[in-house]
Amino acid sequence: MRVVIHPEATVRTWGRLFSSESGDTVDVVVPPLAESISDGTLAQFLKRPGDRVNADEPIAQIETDKVTIDVSSPESGVILKLLANEGDTVEPGNKIAIISRSADATHVAPSETISEKAAPQPTQKVSEEKKAPKVETAPAKEKPKTPPATLKSPTEPQLPPKERERRVPMTRLRKRVATRLKDSQNTFAMLTTFNEVDMTNLMKLRSDYKDAFVEKHGVKLGLMSGFVKAAVNALQHQPIVNAVIDGDDIIYRDYIDISIAVGTPKGLVVPVIRNADTMNFADIEKQINTFAKKANDGSLSIDEMAGGTLTISNGGVYGSLLSTPIINPPQSAILGMHSIVSRPTVVGGNIVPRPMMYVALTYDHRIIDGREAVFFLRRIKDIVEDPRRLLLDI
């Protein structure tokens, strides 16, 4: 049992879970990642040997299949040595750096490490230069052989030189996304149905109440909350879309968790709005804004992306007019939103311009029949075109 008395000991007690001490130095080790994740890739070091760090200051980032985790310094000091390289696969408990508590010793260590690594290089170059004159005559005899090689097959296609290509390892997140999408394609009997939605009334609703909404709730009223509410209502009318196949059984889920697909520079992440059926427009908008900020700075947790019963993907923010989204397992359907385009539409016998959006529902045809899929998408259309249906439950 450990008793903490001084404030500075609090940091040390927390840091000891992720470090090991040896006299003046402290070993920085990889912290626990998550229950379902056994290892990760050391993406980058944020600090270098000789840099001073404070307690709890991030010194490295580890990329897992889903999120990027910061490795923080357990104590204040100076980076003495790095024990791993960027790109290495590391596990919880692996040592990745050594921190010295004293400032004097740290400014010597970097020069020592650099000199140790740099010292062999000149000798290697000198030895190569000494050996080079002995081989000078060999390349001179081989040079005439290269031109005939290119003339033997003049009909072969001229490929770009390798110097103009770059080979970059896939990140863990990108590999995970690629695996899940391919597994989805191989597992589900995917079929997509389409419809178009007149966005006039939902856009007017937002325009009329946007100022009052921000004043009361402190968040802007967007279109996504309207589609989330519509999707919740449609799932309640077509519960089979909210179900999933598990072996020879069908699991009907009596809760509604809506996943929101968010594109980031590192890859696609899908945070989940829990119990969306119990939330109002303001709650949904606040949750979406929180997820967007976390996705951009890479601070989404694994728990925030686990589960979900239906995914909504909005390709319209990138200008997509129409697409066939891929199901996010273990869900059975995904709703695709697209860009809003003013198109001529017949209203009351007259042709008028209206803001129209194509919507798509990709579903697992093994569990969802075409009838239920069309009814589901039609319900989305009806509610978005007339949000008053939500108040009257019709």
The Cα–Cα gap between 170 and 198 comes to 41
Sign of the dihedral defined by the CA atoms of residues 296, 299, 304, 305, in that order: positive
Helix 200-217 vs helix 281-297: crossing angle, to nearest 10: 80
- The closest alpha carbon to 315, from 303, 323, 305, belongs to 323
Higher pLDDT, 212 or 4: 212
With a cut of 70, say whether residue 306 has pLDDT above it.
yes
On average, the pLDDT of the chain sits at 82
Asked if 237 is an active-site residue, the reply is: no
Out of 171-185, 340-354, 372-386, which region has the weakest mean confidence (pLDDT)? 171-185
Residue at token pair 């100022």 = 211
Gyration radius from the chain CA atoms: 29
Higher pLDDT, 172 or 12: 172
pLDDT at residue number 276: 96
Higher pLDDT, 237 or 1: 237
Please identify which of the residues 39, 56, 365, 386 carries the catalytic annotation. 365
User: What domains appear along the chain, each with residue ranges and CATH number?
Assistant: 25-100 (2.40.50.100), 175-391 (3.30.559.10)
Asked if 369 is an active-site residue, the reply is: yes
Quickly state the pLDDT bin for 137 (edges 50, 70, 90): very low
pLDDT at residue number 103: 56
Torsion of CA 379, 382, 384, 387, to 10 degrees: -110
Sign of the dihedral defined by the CA atoms of residues 239, 242, 245, 251, in that order: negative
Quickly state the pLDDT bin for 39 (edges 50, 70, 90): confident
With a cut of 80, say whether residue 299 has pLDDT above it.
yes
Quickly state the pLDDT bin for 64 (edges 50, 70, 90): confident
With a cut of 50, say whether residue 16 has pLDDT above it.
no
Please identify which of the residues 369, 382, 386, 393 carries the catalytic annotation. 369
pLDDT at residue number 156: 62
Q: What percent of the chain has pLDDT over 70?
A: 79
pLDDT at residue number 376: 98
pTM, full prediction: 0.69
pLDDT at residue number 163: 80
- The closest alpha carbon to 354, from 199, 205, 204, belongs to 199
With a cut of 60, say whether residue 279 has pLDDT above it.
yes
The Cα–Cα gap between 213 and 29 comes to 47
Residues 6+ apart with CB under 8 A from 350: none
pLDDT at residue number 22: 57
For residues 27-53, give the mean pLDDT. Answer: 85
SS (H, E, C) the chain: CCCCCCHHHHHHHHHHHHEEEECCEEEEECCCCECCECCEEEEEECCCCCCEECCCCEEEEEECCCCEEEEECCCCEEEEEECCCCCCEECCCCEEEEEECCCCHHHCHHHHHHHHHHCHHHHHHHHHHHHHHHHCHHHHHHHHHHHHHHHCCCCCCCCCCHHHCCCCCCCHHHHHHHHHHHHHHHHCCEEEEEEEEECHHHHHHHHHHHHHHHHHHCCCCCCHHHHHHHHHHHHHHCHHHHCEEECCEEECCCCCCEEECEEECCEEECCEECCHHHCCHHHHHHHHHHHHHHHHHCCCCCHHHCCCCEEEEEHHHHCCCCCCCCCCCCCCEEEEECCEEEEEEEECCEEEEEEEEEEEEEEECCCCCHHHHHHHHHHHHHHHHCCHHHHHCC
Task: Give pLDDT tens digits for 78-130.
Answer: 998 899 888 888 888 898 999 988 755 444 444 343 344 444 454 444 444 44
